[in-house]
Chains A and B, each alone.
Chain A
């Protein structure tokens, strides 16, 4: 997708096609000849892993839809029908449900990699912003997917989350009624969530296309954060990164299969095996694990509107991150302070996730508040100030030099 294609077709049919629609040339320049810095580490393989996750979700999802019934009277029973009567139905459903978790694990690692190596900085701001849009769409899709089995947590999760919008003055109630398709979470809600749950992944795929297009234009960032200088710094995507990404995807699949086949219900909530009942409220309503950090932020604020604004703000702040971080150095490898604050931030995010799963009482609330303040301070205070006061380590002149230095270093250490 970058520059002019250097693709030289030999085959007559391909030549004929290239003259009319140069799609093979496009694929060739994007995924074969595309130059990639040669020093990417395994954290960079999560992009490919995410592409695999999206494909896996779409394929298992399309087959599940052939057996699922989006109607409150029979939705729960239709899921049990899939689990008990449909050939390989149990496998499709467990792969799809756990696949959502795998997708979020991979995306969180992918986002953290971007944060550590400054992949959001000039000229990759649009790559980053598209990534945040993808993240938002993933959350909407995951949330609506969790509603479809119509268990207790489906119903009450949907009730709590959609009710959040009622905190907004004037527009709040109309938004909630629009989401519900009525005056409570009911059959119209399930129907529209099902429709959107099917639509959003395809929008997601389109934005993933833009995301890839954008970073193919700017080129990949790399662990040094120094742009490739000459041909020595890069290798062709194929075979070098196709084989490396494939290897990483298979390793990830081992973890995926372990979770989906050995502990398939561990990441779900037991209450979702109880059919939805609008008259019985579960003792603790908890969203899926991947929303827990945001749920903790929501509950840390004593005011409903304030909590909702902060929860959305936690994602909104990511959109402006490229302009908040004032450091000229991309990679935290060369930022002694940036590196430490990065790991503190990772800890704060995991702590928020843990606190989101705990009841909102006593010490948990206090801890949630401290972590919430830190989350925002990281973006709004620490990153802007750090770039001004930090003295970065000297950057290598080129990727090749950095690679040689590392090789020399590890050789010296081995002796």
Chain B
């Protein structure tokens, strides 16, 4: 029995090691290192902080939305389970603040009307070319998936690259920490600096936290006191960056809470089932020397 149990452990350890070995090496690319932040939604029990999502949405609405679209998010999503906690009436009122194009009507004409909860956030520009032309040739990316489409390398550092990669693979998997997207967004939004001596970034803005290079087209979007919070939270660049990163994680992964809840229930069920099967198996095999 001892050897069998040992083999089970070996098999599982091998499975885990294989899974994370190469996969983690991919996530660990980039060369720049990022700091892990505290997110209420990280880990197996993580949940969004509704107040934080509402503040983050306010930052998106008042700052980011002037250039960045949110094309996969509908107004109704804001009030769904595991979202921002708005009521149906609040969402109706919120949607009505936006104008969307609809049609053609009975005469064949397109028209605009106030948005309804089922509409998606309208883009600030009619098309990509208009967006580029308004932003010096750079296209402001859509933000609905940005928190999953970017990843900063983070986690324990051993000083030896292959060892660090290996440790981080295991660390990400075991701690269930995959919030490297919002970590990156926070680092980027708070990472603007004066370019060092001898570095000329031209029309771009110097930001050593930017993943592809050290300069990007987006000017520093946040500043202290820029957005008026009504819940007494600090009105600092750091707080804005943190709140809007959390909001963008929700926008990218609106089913996160449901996913973690269902996953946890499944794990509890499977653990009990596995325990019962273990004893059943032991009983079945008790009459055989093996």
Contact = CB atoms under 8 A, between A and B. Distances in A.
Interface of A: 38-39, 41-43, 45-46, 77, 80, 83-84, 90-91, 94, 101-102, 105-106, 108-109, 235, 239-240, 243-244, 246-248, 250-255, 257-267, 269-271, 273-274, 283-284, 286, 289-290, 292-293, 350, 353-354, 356-359, 400, 403-404, 406-407, 410
B26 A39 contact: no
B130 to A, nearest CB: 18
B285 A240 contact: yes
A357 B22 contact: yes
Interface residue SS majority, chain B: helix
Interface in B146-196: 148-151, 162, 165, 172-173, 176-178, 181
Interface stretch (B108-116, B216-224, B272-280): B272-280
B19 A105 contact: yes
A243 B284 contact: yes
19 contacts: A38-B290, A42-B10, A46-B11, A90-B258, A240-B288, A247-B280, A248-B11, A250-B277, A255-B16, A257-B267, A257-B270, A258-B263, A270-B181, A274-B141, A283-B212, A353-B22, A356-B22, A357-B25, A403-B290
A333 B226 CA distance: 69
B2 A270 contact: no
A261 B290 contact: no
A253 B266 CA distance: 10
B289 A274 contact: no
Interface in B217-252: 252
B81 to A, nearest CB: 13
A80 B71 CA distance: 11
Given A257-B270, A260-B263, A267-B19, A251 B181 contact: no
A317 B68 CA distance: 52
B127 interface: no
Interface residues of B, number: 67
B214 to A, nearest CB: 14
B99 to A, nearest CB: 23
Contact of A252 (B15, B21, B149, B280): B15
B259 interface: yes
A253 to B, nearest CB: 6
Contact of A289 (B14, B22, B29): B22
B280 to A, nearest CB: 6
B255 A263 contact: no
B22 A43 contact: no
Interface string B32-75: 00000000000010000000000000000000000000001000
A410 B145 contact: no
B128 to A, nearest CB: 10
A101 B27 CA distance: 15
Given A106-B15, A109-B18, 12 more contacts: A77-B72, A91-B259, A105-B15, A109-B14, A247-B277, A261-B262, A261-B264, A265-B178, A273-B145, A292-B26, A350-B18, A357-B26
